[in-house]
């Protein structure tokens, strides 16, 4: 029988060890990409949570301002009632 241990050299195919190294290199690149993406996702999730909290505070402030303005308008519409209530009239 003839020796077929280096058949890839005859057929111009990469040696198995080179092919394995290439696959491992690709896997390492994939893992690094996954790690970087997870870091970015975590960073953006933190930013999103901060923005949600800021939005909630802004909504509360807006709601309070609307209440204050509503009361101011009511007092301006009926100033006599307000003055009587305060005992000035």
pLDDT tens digits for 2-36? 555 665 556 655 556 678 888 899 999 999 999 99
Q: Is the pLDDT of residue 64 over 90?
A: yes
Mean predicted confidence (pLDDT) in 61-75 = 91
Provide the pLDDT for residue 11: 62
Q: pTM of the entire structure?
A: 0.55
Give 82: exposed, middle or buried? Use CB within 10 Å, 0-12, 13-18, 19+. middle
Task: Supply angle C-alpha 12, 16, 20, rounded to 5.
Answer: 125
Q: How confident is the model at residue 67 (pLDDT cuts 50, 70, 90)?
A: very high
3-state secondary structure of 6: coil
Domain ranges of the chain: 14-86
């Amino acid at each position: 029988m003839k020796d077929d241990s280096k058949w890839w050299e005859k057929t111009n195919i990469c040696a198995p060890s080179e092919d394995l190294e290439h696959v491992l290199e690709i896997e390492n690149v994939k893992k690094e990409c996954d790690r970087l993406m997870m870091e970015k996702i975590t960073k953006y999730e933190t930013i999103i949570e901060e923005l949600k909290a800021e939005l909630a505070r802004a909504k509360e402030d807006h709601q309070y301002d609307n209440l204050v303005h509503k009361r101011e308008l009511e007092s301006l519409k009926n100033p006599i009632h307000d003055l009587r209530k305060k005992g000035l009239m």
